[in-house]
C-alpha cells in the first residue's frame, strides 16, 4: 500500500492535466481523418454520385456519439470518470482497426463501414462528455477556463494530426491510403489508455462516494496550498450533504426540474448551437468545398485541411491566453456574430458581384474557422464541464454531448445532399442565420460562469434561476 502511495505521489499536475485532456485527440483525429480519406474512399468504392451514402459514412461516427455521450455520462456517475475514459480508449482502438480493414464486398462494404463507424462513435461521444467533466473537476476555479481549454487544444491538435497524416499518405494507392488513414487512429487511443492508467479519479467523484482521504490526496497533487484544499473539500462536502439531506434520486426528468432547468437548458443549448452553426461541414468536406468552388479534384486539395487545422490550433492557444481575461458570454457573442457574417457576406457579395472569385467563399470560411477556434469551439466544452450541478453533472454532460453530436451528425449527413441541390453560398447562409440565433440564445439564456467555483455556479443557478451577466465578481 505504501509503495502505491509513493508511486501516486510522483504524479505531477502537468501529467494529470495533459492526459486528462488527451481524450480530445481521439475526438479530433476522427473528426479530421475522414476529410482526407473520403476522396480516396469515394474513388475506390465508386461513390462519387452517392451523396446520401457518402453523408452516412461521414456522419456515422457522430450518430454513434449521440448515444456514447449519454451512456458514458450515466456510467461515469456510477463507476467514475477515469474508468470510463479507459473503456472509451479500448473501444476506439478496436473499431479504428476494424474501419481500416473494411472488406471489399461491393455496396455491402459501405454498410459495414457505416456500422463500424457508428460503434466507434460510442467512444468518441464518451470522450466528448467525460473529458470536460474530468478537467473541470480537477482544475481550480481561477484557472478552470484555461485548463479546460486544453481539451479544445487536444481536439484541434488531433484534427491537425489527422490532416497531416492524410496529406502524407495521399500518394499511396487509393485503397491503401484511406485504410491507413482510418486505422492509424488506434495509435493515439493506445497512448491515451497507457496514460490514463496512472491518472487519479476526480476528487468530487471520490467525495461523492465517501472516500474523503483519497479525494484529499488527489487534491494535494493539483493544489499547492493546504488551506485551499481544506476549503475546497469543505465546499464539495457541503454540496454533497445538501444532496443527501434532500434524498435526491436523479433521473432524466430530474434534469428539467425547477431546481436545475435553467442551467441544463443553458448548457445543452450551447452544445447544440455549436454544431448546428455548421463548423463540421467545413472540417469534414473542405476538399469537396474547394473542388466545387474551383473545379480542382478533391484529392489534390488536401493542403486546405492543414490550413484549417493550423488556424484551429493557433486559435485554441489564443483562447488559453484570453480564457480567464474575458467573460464567457462576451466571447461567445462576439465569435458568433463574426461567424454568422462570414457565412452571410459571400451571398451578399455574390449577389452584388456575380463574377466573384470562387475562392472568396474559402477566404471567408477561414475567417469563420479563426473566430470559431477561440470562442465557440473551446467555450462550449468549458461551459458543459462547469455549468451543471454535481448531482446531475455526469448525466447532464452526457445529454449536452448527445445534443452536440445530433447537430454534428445532421450537418455531416445533409451537407453533401444540400450542396448537391443548391449553391454552396446558400447553404452557408443558412448556417450563418443559425450563428446569429446562437448569439441571441447566449444573450438571453446563458449565465456568466467565469471566476465562480462549481459550487457557486450551482447555487446561483438553482437559487436564483439566472446569473447576472458581465460581472464575474458576483
Which of 64, 70, 134 minimizes the C-alpha distance to 99?
64
Buried b (16+ CB within 10 A) or exposed e, 183-200: bbbbebbeebbebbeebb
458: left (phi over 0), alpha (psi -120 to 50) or beta: alpha
The mean per-residue pLDDT over the stretch 181-195 comes to 92
Helices (H) and strands (E) in the chain, counts: 21, 0
How much of the chain exceeds pLDDT 90, in percent?
22
pLDDT at 183 over 80: yes
Q: Model confidence at 5, in pLDDT bands (50, 70, 90)?
A: very low
Q: Report the alpha-carbon distance of residue 113 to residue 408 in Å, rounded.
A: 18
pLDDT recorded at residue 239: 67
Per-residue pLDDT tens for 318-340?
988 887 788 889 999 999 999 99
The alpha-carbon radius of gyration of the chain (Å, integer) is 22
Q: What are the cell numbers at 359?
A: 475562392
Q: Which residue has the higher pLDDT, 105 or 9?
A: 105
Q: Mean pLDDT over all residues of the chain?
A: 82
Checking if the pLDDT of 143 tops 70, the result is no
Q: What is the pLDDT of residue 313?
A: 92
- Asked if pLDDT for residue 167 goes beyond 50, the answer is yes
What is the distance, to the nearest Å, from the Cα of residue 224 to the centroid of all Cα atoms in its chain? 30
How much is the pLDDT for 332? Answer: 95
The pLDDT value given to residue 116: 94
In the predicted model, is pLDDT for residue 414 greater than 50? yes
What is the model's pLDDT at position 18? 84
Averaged over 205-223, what is the pLDDT? 82
Looking at residues 449-468, what average pLDDT do you find?
64
Structure confidence at residue 8 as a pLDDT band (50, 70, 90)? very low
First to last CA, the chain: 44
Placement of cell 482497426 in the chain: 97
- 371 pLDDT higher than 80: yes
Q: Identify the pLDDT of residue 470.
A: 42
Using CA atoms, how far apart are residues 150 and 88, in angstroms rounded to an integer? Answer: 19
Residue 225 has pLDDT above 80, yes or no: no
Phi-psi region of 80 (alpha: psi -120 to 50; beta: other; left: phi over 0): left
pLDDT value for 362 = 84
Is the pLDDT confidence value at 467 over 80?
no
Which of 9-18, 246-255, 303-312 bottoms out in mean pLDDT, i.e. has the lowest?
246-255
Q: Say what the pLDDT of residue 41 is.
A: 87
CA distance linking residue 76 with residue 67, whole number of Å: 14
How far does CA 373 lie from the centroid of its chain? 12
Instruction: Tell the burial category of 2 from Cβ atoms under 10 Å away from its Cβ (0-12, 13-18, 19+).
Output: exposed
Segment 433-452, tens digit of pLDDT:
999 999 999 999 888 887 77
Q: CB under 8 Å to 472, separation ≥6 — which residues?
A: 327, 448, 450, 451, 452
Looking at the predicted structure, is the pLDDT value of residue 247 above 90?
no
Residue 1 pLDDT: 39
Per-residue pLDDT at 140 exceeds 80: no
CATH topology of domain 14-464: Growth Hormone; Chain: A; (1.20.1250)
pLDDT at 144: 64
| Residue 464 exposure: Cα atoms within 13 Å on the Cβ side | 11
Among 22-26, 120-124, 139-143, 418-422, top mean pLDDT goes to 120-124
> With left for phi above 0 and alpha for psi between -120 and 50, is residue 102 left, alpha or beta?
beta
DSSP strands (E only) in 151-277: none
Q: Please say whether the beta carbons of 363 and 346 come within 8 A.
A: no
The residues, any chain, with a CB within 8 Å of residue 14's CB and separated by 6 or more, are none
pTM for the complete prediction?
A: 0.76
pLDDT on residue 474: 43
Residue-wise pLDDT tens digits, 261-273: 888 999 999 999 9
Q: How far apart are CA 233 and CA 217, in angstroms?
A: 11
* pLDDT at residue 443, as a whole number: 92
Pick 159 or 437 by higher pLDDT: 437
> Grid coordinates standing for 302?
488536401
Where exactly are the structural domains of the chain? 14-464
At 6, the pLDDT band (50, 70, 90 cuts) reads: very low
Give the distance from CA 227 to its chain's centroid. Answer: 34
What does 46-77 look like in DSSP terms, one character per residue? Answer: T-TT-HHHHHHHHHHHHHHHHHHHHHHHHHHH
Distances (CA, A) of 8 to 2, 15, 200: 10, 12, 8
> Average pLDDT of 4-9?
43
pLDDT at 280 over 90: no
Mean pLDDT, to the nearest integer, of 207-223? 82
**The pLDDT value given to residue 242:** 61
DSSP-derived secondary structure letter, 370 = H
User: Any idea what the Cα angle at residue 323 is, between residues 145 and 236, rounded to 5°?
Assistant: 20
DSSP string, 305-329: HHHHHHHHHHHHHHHHHHTTTS-HH
Is pLDDT above 90 for 459? no
285 — pLDDT class (breaks 50, 70, 90): confident
CA distance 360 to 54: 26
Amino acid at each position: 500500500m505504501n509503495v502505491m502511495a509513493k508511486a501516486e505521489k510522483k504524479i505531477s499536475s502537468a501529467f494529470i492535466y495533459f492526459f486528462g485532456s488527451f481524450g480530445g485527440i481521439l475526438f479530433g483525429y476522427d473528426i479530421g481523418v475522414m476529410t482526407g480519406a473520403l476522396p480516396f474512399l469515394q474513388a475506390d468504392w465508386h461513390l462519387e454520385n452517392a451523396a446520401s451514402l457518402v453523408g452516412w459514412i461521414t456522419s456515422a461516427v457522430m450518430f454513434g456519439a449521440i448515444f456514447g455521450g449519454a451512456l458514458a455520462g450515466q456510467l461515469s456517475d456510477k463507476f467514475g470518470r477515469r474508468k470510463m475514459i479507459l473503456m472509451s480508449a479500448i473501444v476506439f482502438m478496436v473499431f479504428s482497426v476494424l474501419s481500416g480493414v473494411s472488406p471489399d464486398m461491393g455496396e455491402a462494404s459501405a454498410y459495414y463501414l457505416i456500422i463500424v463507424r457508428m460503434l466507434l462513435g460510442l467512444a468518441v461521444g464518451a470522450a466528448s462528455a467525460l473529458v470536460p467533466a474530468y478537467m473541470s473537476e480537477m482544475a481550480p476555479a481561477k484557472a478552470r477556463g484555461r485548463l479546460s481549454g486544453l481539451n479544445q487544444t487536444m481536439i484541434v491538435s488531433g484534427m491537425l494530426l489527422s490532416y497531416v497524416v492524410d496529406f502524407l499518405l495521399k500518394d499511396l494507392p487509393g485503397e491503401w491510403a484511406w485504410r491507413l488513414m482510418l486505422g492509424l487512429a488506434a495509435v493515439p487511443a493506445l497512448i491515451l489508455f497507457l496514460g490514463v492508467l496512472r491518472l487519479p479519479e476526480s476528487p468530487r467523484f471520490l467525495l461523492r462516494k465517501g472516500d474523503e482521504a483519497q479525494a484529499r490526496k488527489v487534491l494535494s497533487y493539483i493544489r499547492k496550498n493546504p488551506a485551499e484544499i481544506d476549503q475546497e473539500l469543505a465546499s464539495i462536502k457541503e454540496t454533497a450533504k445538501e444532496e443527501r439531506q434532500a434524498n435526491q434520486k436523479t433521473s432524466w426528468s430530474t434534469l428539467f426540474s425547477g431546481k436545475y432547468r435553467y442551467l441544463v437548458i443553458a448548457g445543452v443549448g450551447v452544445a447544440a448551437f455549436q454544431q448546428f452553426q455548421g463548423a463540421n461541414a467545413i472540417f469534414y468536406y473542405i476538399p469537396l468545398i474547394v473542388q466545387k468552388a474551383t473545379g480542382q479534384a478533391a484529392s489534390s486539395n488536401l493542403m486546405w485541411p492543414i490550413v484549417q487545422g493550423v488556424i484551429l490550433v493557433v486559435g485554441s492557444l489564443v483562447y488559453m491566453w484570453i480564457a480567464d481575461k474575458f467573460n464567457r458570454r462576451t466571447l461567445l457573442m462576439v465569435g458568433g456574430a463574426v461567424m454568422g457574417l462570414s457565412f452571410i457576406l459571400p451571398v451578399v457579395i455574390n449577389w452584388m458581384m456575380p463574377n466573384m472569385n470562387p475562392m472568396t467563399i474559402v477566404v471567408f470560411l477561414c475567417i469563420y474557422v479563426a473566430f470559431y477556434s477561440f470562442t465557440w469551439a473551446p467555450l462550449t466544452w468549458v461551459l458543459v464541464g462547469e455549468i451543471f450541478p454535481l448531482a446531475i453533472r455526469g448525466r447532464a454532460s452526457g445529454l449536452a454531448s448527445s445534443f452536440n453530436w445530433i447537430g454534428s451528425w445532421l450537418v455531416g449527413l445533409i451537407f453533401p445532399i444540400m450542396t448537391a441541390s443548391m449553391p454552396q453560398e446558400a447553404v452557408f447562409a443558412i448556417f450563418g442565420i443559425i450563428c446569429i440565433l446562437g448569439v441571441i440564445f447566449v444573450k438571453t439564456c446563458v449565465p456568466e460562469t467565469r471566476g465562480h467555483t462549481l459550487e457557486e455556479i450551482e447555487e446561483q443557478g438553482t437559487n436564483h434561476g439566472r446569473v447576472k451577466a458581465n460581472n464575474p465578481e458576483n
